[in-house]
A and B are shown apart, each in its own frame.
Chain A
Amino acid sequence: MESTLLKLEQVNTHIDQFHILQNVDFEVKSGEVTVLLGRNGAGKTTTLRTIMGLNGATSGSIVFKGENITKLPPYEIAKKGIGYVPEDQGIFYDLTVEENFRVGMRKDDDGTKERMEWVLELFPDLKKFWRKPGGQLSGGQKQMLSIARAYVNDNDLLLIDEPSKGLAPVIVEKVIESIDKMKERTTVVLVEQNFYMASKLGDAFFILDDGITVHHGRMEQLIRDEELKRKYLGIA
């Protein structure tokens, strides 16, 4: 029933002389949360950056909504409908919350207004600190701003890189709750080291190790597979 929204086939990425991604295969179905797992340095961030065109793939193909986007520049890829929430959140510190939204807003139509209202209801803090510089927000608020900013555009896919990183457990709960609400409205690729978060949100999973796709399947399978979790995720 679900159709393929994004597909990476045999993707290789080099950063300088280093061969980081090696024949990576990765697939995302519409309407699902696909979790990308793997140890530190496995290549998860590089995979997202390669999808966004921030690190160009040296070979292989990336197809989004049936269109080959492998060679497109980042801004074209974004305009095709992919929102990016980077590991460092990518908040413009000297811009206010409002300006952080506005600078990335591609349209000002009814759909955008509706999503804006919806997301501000989800993250009331952002409304509260509307005129505050992004740099003065707490870590959790920055994360919420980054996710909300990506969501507000007319995107079909959100790439979210380790949203739980550096956040207190209560805040992590809040982020889980909001992504859970968001997944009814959009497709998500979630990079996570926090297995609790991954298992709560994920429908499907991919595991990367040393730049290679080593496993993939449905989240329920992974939750039961102690061996796999121990081997690649270091979870006993």
Chain B
Amino acid sequence: MELIINLAINGISTGMLIFLIAAGLTLIFGLMDVLNFAHGGIFAWGAYAGVWFFSLTQSFLLSILAAVVTGLLIGLVTEYLIIRPVYGNHIQQILITLGFMLVLSEMLKVVFGPDIKAAETPSYLSGSWTIGDVTIIKYRAFIIAVGFLVFIAMQLILKHSKIGLIVRAGVMDREMIQALGVNIRKVFVGVFMVGSALAALGGALFAPSSGVVYAEMGMEFGIFAFIVVIIGGMGSIPGSLIAALLVGISNVFMAYYLPILSMAVTMLIMFVVLIFKPQGLFSTSGVSNK
């Protein structure tokens, strides 16, 4: 029983990290119809930025902040240089963002060196609580809490603020929102930056829990995030959360009991969802669903 609870907590925290990457990805996809395969690269950059800043300052909070700022800046530059020239063309988007993903990975090796880097957990988040027979690793609980807070904050913003309304409306009908006087490109730059910052935050949170960072982590998690966006429904934040938890939990369990099949199960979930709900679990596009 303890094992199952531990695996579940482990799965939920992994799911929350995937959610942080998928949240930006799904909005980028839903709002601008842009396929961004470089998104995972920003996750990796966030992780490296966090580790580097922690080694400099010994402050976990500052290292998280540094990762978020790194994400915002890479997001700004990526949108301008990489995404803007390929609006409306999926094939070009796939090619250029996959290429840029490799550039981001290689740049990590150039800047920080090719070796795997060790990442530390801050002392106040190390260790665990023991409740009866169950041991809860503090840091995993911390990740779950942060992921959940990010989800709540995003929901509140999307539901209640004017900018949130504009983003939701833009996901449903990009033309109409412009015909009402909204410069959707400007909104998109903001969404792209925030989405990148969330991915970077995910990376910075991931590093202490895995203990290491490496350049290829962006590609690994990026693929998971893409699958999660497809399962959850493009443009849906709740869909991404549910799908990320599903993928995170199933992956951790499979990795424990049947490691050889852990990726296969993720793919299986995606296929099953697509067969029964081709638009994903929570499709937000009001038109296609009705």
Selecting from A93-101, A168-176, A215-223, the interface stretch reads: A93-101
CB of B165 closer than 8 Å to a CB of A: yes
CB atoms of A92 and B168 under 8 A apart: yes
A99 engages B181 (CB within 8 Å): no
Q: Is A41 close to B, CB under 8 A?
A: no
Assess whether B180 is in contact with A103, with CB atoms less than 8 Å apart. Answer: yes
| CB–CB B179/A74 < 8 A | yes
Instruction: Look across to chain A and name the residue whose beta carbon is closest to the beta carbon of B175.
Output: A54
Kindly list 14 other residue pairs between chains A and B, CB separation below 8 angstroms, not including A75-B180, A102-B165, A106-B180. A54-B175, A54-B178, A75-B178, A75-B181, A75-B182, A84-B180, A86-B176, A92-B173, A94-B284, A95-B172, A103-B165, A104-B182, A134-B286, A153-B181
- Shortest CB distance A171–B (Å): 20
Counting from the closest, the 5 A-B pairs by CB-CB distance are A93-B286, A104-B180, A90-B176, A78-B181, A74-B178
* Nearest-CB residue, chain B, relative to A78: B181
Q: How far is the CB of B48 from chain A (nearest CB, A)?
A: 38
Given contacts A99-B165, A102-B165, contact A92 B286 (CB under 8 A): yes
- Bound CA span A103–B184, Å: 12
Query: Is there contact, CB below 8 Å, between A79 and B181?
Result: yes
> Chain B 101-128 against A: per-residue CB contact (8 Å), 1 yes, 0 no?
0000000000000000000000000000
Q: Closest Cβ of chain B: how far from A34's Cβ, in Å?
A: 19
Contact between chains at B169 and A95 (CB < 8 Å): yes
Q: From DSSP, what is the main secondary structure of chain A's interface residues?
A: mixed
- B240-290 contacts to A, CB under 8 A, are 284, 286-287, 290
Interface residue from A52, A79, A103, A133 paired with B177 (Cβ < 8 Å): A103
Cβ of A124 < 8 Å from any Cβ of B? no
Q: Cβ of A73 < 8 Å from any Cβ of B?
A: yes
Does A111 count as interface, using CB distance less than 8 angstroms?
no
Chain B residues touching A, range: 20 to 34
Q: Check: B189 CB closer than 8 A to any chain A CB.
A: no
Contact B176 A93, beta carbon cutoff 8 Å:
no
Decide: B168 and A95 in contact? CB cutoff 8 A: yes
CB distance B178 to A103 under 8 Å?
A: no
A92 touches B176 (CB 8 A): yes
Cβ distance B77 to chain A, nearest Cβ, rounded Å: 23
Contact-residue bracket for chain A: 20 to 34
> Per a CB cutoff under 8 Å, which of B169, B286, B287, B290 touches A103?
B169
Which chain A residues lie closer than 8 Å to B175 at the CB level? 54, 74, 90
Which residues of chain B come closer than 8 Å to A104, judged between CB atoms?
A: 177, 180-182
CB nearest to A146 among chain B residues? B176
- Beyond A54-B175, A84-B179, A86-B179, is A95–B165 a contact (Cβ under 8 Å)? yes
Which residues B143-193 have CB closer than 8 A to chain A? 162, 165-166, 168-169, 172-173, 175-184
Per-residue CB proximity of A124-150 to B under 8 Å, as 1/0? 000000000111000000000000010
CB A184 to nearest CB in B, in angstroms, measures: 24
Query: A133 CA to B287 CA in the complex, in Å?
Result: 13
Q: Which of B178, B181, B183 has the most CB of A within 10 A?
A: B181
Instruction: Decide yes or no: A54 and B165 within 8 Å by CB, A90-B173, A93-B172, A135-B290 being known contacts.
Output: no
State the Cβ distance, A21 to closest chain B Cβ, in Å: 18
Contacts of B172 in A (CB 8 A): 92-95
Return chain B residues, CB-CB under 8 Å to A134. Answer: 286
Contact assessment for B173 and A73 in the assembled complex, using a CB-CB cutoff below 8 Å: no
CA–CA, A86 and B179, complex, Å: 9
Query: CB-CB contacts of B41-81 with A at 8 A, as 1s and 0s?
Result: 00000000000000000000000000000000000000000
Within 8 A of A (CB), among B216-250: none
Distance in angstroms from B54 CB to nearest chain A CB is 41
Nearest residue in B to A82 (C-beta to C-beta)? B179
Report A25-52 residues with CB < 8 Å from chain B CB.
Answer: 52
